[in-house]
Chains A and B, each alone.
Chain A
């Protein structure tokens, strides 16, 4: 049994094997692998005795359940109006320049992925972004460079 399979069994033991357990299990896989591979979705469907198409259909509905391979740290920059007004584009530019990737891409070393996202709920402290679950607000290009610098030092 490979580790993915073991983890899915552990998640199913924890959350149950009903349809209602599907989202927490999908979230659990993303937490570890950063995305849902086709293999993981098929494994989950077997474990919960659901058609793989149902698992895929549910997973792809939710924007945080990525089904493309993602880096260890997913940077989500808010693009909704308040952040957009307060300099979201300069933030994106700073990230793109520093990491040499475009929106939707992952760095060669698999450390960072960059995506845009809808309202994060920090409009009063715009512009905002999240890296995995960590929130950063009132961003400036310098601040972003500092934050990414710290993430570059983290072990992956």
Chain B
């Protein structure tokens, strides 16, 4: 556990102009694959989509996987409530993402890259295509055999789950697969696949440009580097901010709250609600996690002031999950419906207050038995809201 908390520090890497991409690409592919992998591993970059898997290791595993047909996929199915950073990256510095995909392809031995873009971001398709065209032209020029295409999603949160995304790419319902096998062995078309979040790819650009140390020097142990945070809710300055990992939630609230912050939802609907009394003891990063559970740190920070009903918040999240559950496994499909019906019944007085404990048990069951991260993480927000604001659920 990390005891030390960093002061909130603004960083500016991600949105620094990408005009030097041709140079970075050429420089990178003239290094050895091993060197590049080592650089990434020593940076300790972890997946910025939420799950936090070490990026260097992911690329290494895929590079070692047998087979000639491999894929690099950029997960731009940014659907977690309160998250909007990937859209901004693809709008402002698309060449960083394209370059990172090509370098990844070079390392792992993939000739094809796909950007899975959520349907809600359809307006980005055209500018992104233009960028890809220019990028491909340069790849041809330097004899780098790597093609990138865009695949549009059609409005399904679950497709952000990597194996559901593969199913969707293959023209099917976006229903998550069993893991293992993991994507590095068997991903898209059952071939070895690297799948990374947009922001993760953008960070690798920074690392290839400046070297691992510059990245590693930011953050704290186990949580190196900077991260984009999507900040919304009751804040005078909503928006996207790049901050060093490891800050305390108290410092965060002091900077971004409206002076009356009651709670912060960290990690979107699938994350945790942290009440005011726990701001001090909560750090944002991969360690120092809130309640001992691995917290997805996709960067969604939703701030609520004392005028907000935490019942309404939970009701909103559960409705979201009920609609977005793919329906494949019973714990998630039925669980989401029952949790929502349950809190409504308690609120209306149709069920006694201790019924909330039964619902907590149900959410715990979902955490253990649901097939994928969606169903497993419903308990995060459910338990953290019900346990911290129980009276608001009842009265």
Contact A124-B238, Cβ < 8 Å, known A80-B81, A118-B81: yes
**Once bound together, how far apart are the Cα atoms of A134 and B122, in whole Å?**
9
For window 38-71 of A, CB contacts with B under 8 Å fall at 57-58, 61-65
**Once bound together, how far apart are the Cα atoms of A28 and B363, in whole Å?**
39
**Once bound together, how far apart are the Cα atoms of A130 and B173, in whole Å?**
24
Residue pairs across A and B with CB atoms within 8 Å: the count is 116
B119 touches A64 (CB 8 A): yes
Q: Is A140 at the interface (CB under 8 A from chain B)?
A: no
> How many chain A residues have a CB neighbour from B under 8 Å?
36
Q: Is B155 at the interface (CB under 8 A from chain A)?
A: yes
B155 touches A117 (CB 8 A): yes
Q: Is A23 at the interface (CB under 8 A from chain B)?
A: yes
Residues of A within 8 A of B213 (CB): none
> How many chain B residues have a CB neighbour from A under 8 Å?
49
Residues of B within 8 A of A11 (CB): none
Residues of A within 8 A of B6 (CB): none
**Once bound together, how far apart are the Cα atoms of A81 and B304, in whole Å?**
10
**Once bound together, how far apart are the Cα atoms of A47 and B170, in whole Å?**
17
Checking A19, A24, A134 against B172 with a beta-carbon cut-off of 8 angstroms, the contacting residue is A19
Binds A, one of B140-148, B203-211, B227-235, B247-255: B227-235
Main secondary structure of the interface of B (DSSP, over half): mixed
Q: Is B67 at the interface (CB under 8 A from chain A)?
A: no
Checking B81, B87, B120 against A81 with a beta-carbon cut-off of 8 angstroms, the contacting residue is B81
Q: Is B123 at the interface (CB under 8 A from chain A)?
A: yes
Q: Is A82 at the interface (CB under 8 A from chain B)?
A: yes
Q: Is B171 at the interface (CB under 8 A from chain A)?
A: yes
Residues of A within 8 A of B170 (CB): 19-20
| Interface CB pairs A-B, < 8 A, 22 | A19-B170, A20-B169, A21-B171, A22-B171, A22-B172, A23-B152, A23-B171, A57-B173, A58-B171, A58-B172, A62-B153, A62-B154, A63-B323, A80-B81, A80-B320, A118-B157, A119-B79, A121-B84, A122-B84, A123-B238, A124-B84, A133-B122
Q: Which 6 A-B pairs have the closest CB atoms?
A: A64-B155, A123-B232, A62-B154, A124-B238, A63-B155, A22-B171
A residues whose Cβ falls under 8 Å from a Cβ of B: 18-24, 26-27, 57-58, 61-65, 79-82, 84-85, 117-126, 130, 133-135
Q: List 18 other contacts, CB 8 Å, given A61-B326, A118-B320, A133-B122.
A: A19-B170, A20-B170, A20-B171, A22-B171, A23-B151, A23-B171, A27-B152, A62-B153, A62-B156, A62-B174, A63-B154, A81-B317, A85-B233, A117-B155, A121-B83, A123-B81, A123-B238, A124-B230
